[in-house]
DNA sequence: CTGTTAGCGCATTCAT
DNA sequence: ATGAATGCGCTAACAG
């Protein structure tokens, strides 16, 4: 039925070892023999069985990546970076969606490990002790992608979320705003949530502006929640003149909520956020935001993983990529 | 180093066959023995090796999916549907990006087959003879997802693109528009390109409206090209009062081009398209569009694939999912 | 219900 | 430069 290395060997009149050699590009094969083998392969339509090869060599040339939400444009941008580099180093990707559920994250980590991936890329939210526990049982390298663990025990690549948020709010303050509302992510999320809130807080405190409870509201990162939270802000007696949103999506939601109430952005309300998803430049007014190098986060983390898998020793196992303010049209003077 | 089924067998005082049975949930094991084995597994931290299992059983419980562009929101929506159902049937996904390059598509199909996937989902643009050729060498089922081959020889799930386009243009005509421009995709692309153009043409012809060359322009599906093409339309002496765009992204680009020239949408210009990506309801005015059930396309095709892999016989191997007009705010009377 | 025995298709020593 | 032999970790008859 299926044609194996044995069949090829017989067809070419050589041993299976020789066939294995030519398939694996081993130089110790006479060119003529190599030719014979290739012809036999062609004739028989032989296709190497990567599973058998994986069992024998203990390498699968595939890496697992766990992704919190494949339909979120941030992650799919990052995934592109991962894919490109993986492809460059001839790795394939087993992509597992984890629905942002911790339990499912742990589960897929384990099935990925069962599949004998050569390495693991983890793009999750929080890295808990349970995660660390699961990682510890792995005999292959792991790198965190767009997140970090508190203790910095696992290699990772990410931006400095607090600093990014700080820069965003700082820009608002520089424009004379003092009544600055924040649409935050959940504070349980260390990266996009808590860290970005910390950056907001730090910028205000440093400018001597009090951080008040009524000016901070938690959303769920999505457009709709940005819209809802903005409606709340609009009803405040002393409403903010500027908004810092933890994500672009929420910022866009906020802009539309304001516009739907007849406000002009940025004239009546300034809005800034963090991410720079593609949509940020596809809305009117175009969104001013702090760009996160999503493609690079994916690419760099995959590159780091290839080094680790290759047992090269890496100097920096925790890399922080730079962010950058993209000034567009959603921020104006107070 | 690695603990195998053998070690567990020894530790539990049973044979490896028994261990295999409990791991595979074979009912023919005395509860007590089962318990002993589980304890041994726990104690040793045994983790089954899916590669070895794959070699022995000739099943890998993974399916390959080739995707033209992972960063395109349409495909990532579809991927979500695929993932959900795959997960439900305990399959993992090897996701391969093909950069919309035919050559690379063929290449990844082959490596996926080498990896012994149990089935293949192909989300590509055109299905050429070379594709068919590659598919033919596969001994596992394949289904096309969001595309079709001309000869209907491969199982597929998709919408009727021509009909969707027809309905969109029909709506414009129903609103009294006669000067209707089209921002098309490349006519080489049978689904999103040619078929949608055919629908446009058919609707116009049926209404007795001539199809003119200057009212049809080709874009590349993206926002920017919609923007550019719209600028062209705006400069026409007898400019269209309505636009049918082959994709939402191009439609949004068109809307912004019009707005940037001071036109009001939909008062001065109506715009409709096909897709219904998330962004369609996140722009102002919200986009009227023909919804393509992206999640379902993914889910149904994966479900179909599971049936095929399971050798159930399926009645309809070519399924056409319904589309639906979503009336929002970008279309008005002529 | 449990154990024995063969492979699955290939990489990899070790000889030659 | 090539071949013979061994085993990777597991499933799947088959036997008992």
pLDDT tens digit string along B190-236?
A: 888 999 999 999 999 999 999 999 999 999 999 999 999 999 999 99
Bases on strand D under 7 Å from any protein CB: 1-5, 7-13
Mean pLDDT over B134-160 rounds to 93
Query: Is A256 found in the same domain as A136?
Result: no
CA of A118 to C1' of D1 (A): 32
Q: Which residues contact B27 (CB under 8 A, 6 or more apart)?
A: none
Per-residue model confidence (pLDDT) at position B322: 98
pLDDT band for position A76 (cuts 50, 70, 90): confident
pLDDT band for position B99 (cuts 50, 70, 90): confident
Any B CB within 8 A of A262 CB: no
Query: Is A263 found in the same domain as A218?
Result: yes
The neighbouring-strand residues paired with B289 are B273, B326
In a domain, A201, yes or no: yes
Query: Is B308 found in the same domain as B201?
Result: no
Cβ of A50 near strand D (under 7 Å)? The reply is no
**Backbone torsions φ then ψ of A142, nearest 5 degrees:** -135, 140
Percent of chain A with pLDDT over 90: 88
Question: Which segment of A50-64, A304-318, B173-187 scores lowest on mean pLDDT?
Answer: A304-318
Query: Is A149 found in the same domain as A229?
Result: no
DSSP code per residue over B214-264:
GGEEE--SSHHHHHHHHHHHHHSTT--SEEEESSHHHHHHHHHHHHHTT--
pLDDT exceeds 90 at position A192 = no
pLDDT band for position A276 (cuts 50, 70, 90): very high
- Are B114 and A50 within 8 A, CB to CB? yes
Per-residue model confidence (pLDDT) at position A17: 95
Cβ of A1 near strand D (under 7 Å)? The reply is no
Per-residue model confidence (pLDDT) at position A177: 97
Tokens for B152, please give them: 């209907």
pLDDT band for position A111 (cuts 50, 70, 90): very high
Cβ of B138 near strand C (under 7 Å)? The reply is no
Nucleotide with minimal C1' distance from the CA of A4 is C9
Per-residue model confidence (pLDDT) at position A72: 84
Any A CB within 8 A of B139 CB: yes
| Other CB atoms within 10 A of residue B212 CB | 11
Q: Which residues contact A136 (CB under 8 A, 6 or more apart)?
A: none
In a domain, B334, yes or no: no
Mean pLDDT over B266-271 rounds to 97
Q: Which residues contact A303 (CB under 8 A, 6 or more apart)?
A: A85
**Backbone torsions φ then ψ of B97, nearest 5 degrees:** -80, 140
Q: In whole angstroms, give the CA distance from residue B180 to residue B244.
A: 7
Query: Is B37 found in the same domain as B13?
Result: yes
Closest partner CB to A49 (pick from B114, B279, B283): B114
Per-residue model confidence (pLDDT) at position B263: 96
pLDDT exceeds 80 at position B125 = no
pLDDT band for position B244 (cuts 50, 70, 90): very high
CATH code of A151's domain: 3.40.50.2300
DSSP code per residue over B52-88:
HHHHHHS--SEEEEEES-TTSHHHHHHHHHHHHHHHH
Per-residue model confidence (pLDDT) at position A21: 95
CATH code of B26's domain: 1.10.260.40
**In terms of Cα–Cα distance, which of B327, B23, B68 is closest to B192?**
B68
Cβ of A245 near strand C (under 7 Å)? The reply is no
Query: Is B99 found in the same domain as B72?
Result: yes
Q: Which residues contact B44 (CB under 8 A, 6 or more apart)?
A: B3, B7, B8, B11
Per-residue pLDDT tens for A201-235?
Answer: 999 999 999 999 999 999 999 999 999 999 999 99
Per-residue pLDDT tens for A232-247?
Answer: 999 999 999 999 999 9
Query: Is B203 found in the same domain as B105?
Result: no
Contact A69, A75 (CB under 8 A): yes
Q: In whole angstroms, give the CA distance from residue A103 to residue A124.
A: 12
**In terms of Cα–Cα distance, which of B319, B316, B314 is closest to B300?**
B319
pLDDT band for position A20 (cuts 50, 70, 90): very high
In a domain, A98, yes or no: yes
Query: Is A153 found in the same domain as A298?
Result: yes
In a domain, B191, yes or no: yes
Per-residue model confidence (pLDDT) at position A334: 87
Per-residue pLDDT tens for B197-208?
Answer: 999 999 999 999
- Are A92 and B77 within 8 A, CB to CB? no
Any A CB within 8 A of B77 CB: yes
Q: In whole angstroms, give the CA distance from residue B294 to residue B300.
A: 10
CA of residue A327 relative to chain centroid, distance: 23
Q: In whole angstroms, give the CA distance from residue A155 to residue A140.
A: 12
Query: Is B170 found in the same domain as B202?
Result: yes
Sign of CA pseudo-dihedral B249, B251, B252, B256: positive
Q: Which residues of B touch A48 (CB under 8 A)?
A: 114
Query: Is B69 found in the same domain as B23?
Result: no
Any A CB within 8 A of B79 CB: yes
In a domain, B54, yes or no: no
DSSP code per residue over A302-317:
HHHHHHHHTTPPPS-S
Q: Tell me what the pLDDT averaged over chain B comes to.
A: 94
Q: Which residues contact B137 (CB under 8 A, 6 or more apart)?
A: A45, A47, B113
Interface of A with B in 234-253 (CB under 8 A): 252-253
pLDDT exceeds 90 at position B157 = yes
Mean pLDDT over B51-78 rounds to 92
Give me the B residues in range 3-32 that sit within 7 A (CB) of strand C. 13-18, 21, 27-30, 32
In a domain, B55, yes or no: no
In a domain, A53, yes or no: no
**In terms of Cα–Cα distance, which of A100, A111, A106 is closest to A68?**
A100
The neighbouring-strand residues paired with B271 are B243
In a domain, A327, yes or no: no
Per-residue model confidence (pLDDT) at position A190: 83
Q: In whole angstroms, give the CA distance from residue B299 to residue B321.
A: 11
Residue count of chain A: 334
Pairing of strands A119-122, A62-67: parallel
Per-residue model confidence (pLDDT) at position B94: 93
pLDDT band for position A316 (cuts 50, 70, 90): confident
Query: Is A171 found in the same domain as A275?
Result: yes
**Backbone torsions φ then ψ of B152, nearest 5 degrees:** 55, 40
pTM, two decimals, is: 0.93
Q: In what order do the strands lie in the sheet with A324-326?
A: A216-218, A180-184, A242-245, A270-275, A288-291, A324-326
Mean pLDDT over B87-114 rounds to 93
Any B CB within 8 A of A43 CB: no
Q: In whole angstroms, give the CA distance from residue B259 to residue A284.
A: 9
Contact A241, A216 (CB under 8 A): no
pLDDT exceeds 80 at position A143 = yes
Range of the domain at A208: 161-291
Per-residue model confidence (pLDDT) at position B333: 95
Question: Which segment of A43-47, A95-99, A272-276, B321-325 scores lowest on mean pLDDT?
Answer: A95-99
Query: Is B193 found in the same domain as B301?
Result: no
Q: How many domains does chain B have?
A: 3
CA of residue A245 relative to chain centroid, distance: 19
H-helix or E-strand containing A9? helix A5-12
From the CA of A322, how many Å to the nearest CA of chain B? 22
């Amino acid at each position: 039925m299926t044609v194996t290395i044995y069949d090829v060997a017989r067809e070419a009149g050589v041993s299976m070892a020789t066939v294995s050699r030519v398939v694996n590009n081993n130089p110790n094969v006479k060119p003529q023999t190599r030719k014979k083998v290739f012809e036999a392969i062609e004739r028989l339509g032989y296709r190497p069985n990567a599973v058998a090869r994986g069992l024998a060599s203990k390498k699968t040339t595939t890496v697992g990546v766990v992704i919190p939400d494949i339909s979120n444009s941030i992650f799919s941008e990052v995934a592109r970076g991962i894919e490109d580099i993986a492809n460059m180093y001839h790795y394939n990707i087993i992509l597992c969606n984890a629905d942002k559920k911790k339990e499912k994250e742990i589960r897929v980590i384990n099935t990925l490990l069962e599949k004998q991936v050569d390495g693991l890329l983890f793009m999750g939210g929080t890295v808990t002790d349970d995660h660390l526990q699961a990682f510890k049982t792995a005999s292959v390298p792991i790198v965190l992608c767009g997140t970090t663990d508190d203790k910095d025990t696992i290699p990772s690549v990410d931006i400095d979320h607090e600093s990014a948020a700080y820069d965003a709010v700082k820009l608002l303050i520089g424009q004379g705003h003092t009544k600055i509302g924040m649409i935050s992510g959940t504070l349980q999320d260390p990266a996009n949530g808590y860290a970005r809130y910390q950056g907001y807080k730090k910028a205000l405190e440093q400018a001597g502006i009090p951080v008040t409870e009524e000016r901070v509201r938690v959303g769920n990162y999505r457009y709709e929640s940005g819209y809802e939270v903005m409606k709340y802000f609009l009803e405040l007696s002393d409403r903010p003149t500027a908004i810092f949103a933890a994500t672009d999506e929420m910022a866009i939601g906020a802009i539309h909520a304001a516009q739907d109430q007849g406000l002009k952005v940025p004239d009546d309300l300034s809005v800034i956020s963090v991410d720079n998803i593609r949509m940020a430049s596809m809305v009117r007014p175009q969104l001013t935001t702090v760009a996160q190098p999503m493609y690079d986060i994916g690419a760099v983390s995959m590159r780091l993983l290839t080094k680790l898998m290759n047992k090269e020793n890496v100097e920096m196992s925790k890399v922080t990529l730079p962010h950058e303010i993209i000034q567009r049209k959603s921020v104006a003077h107070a």
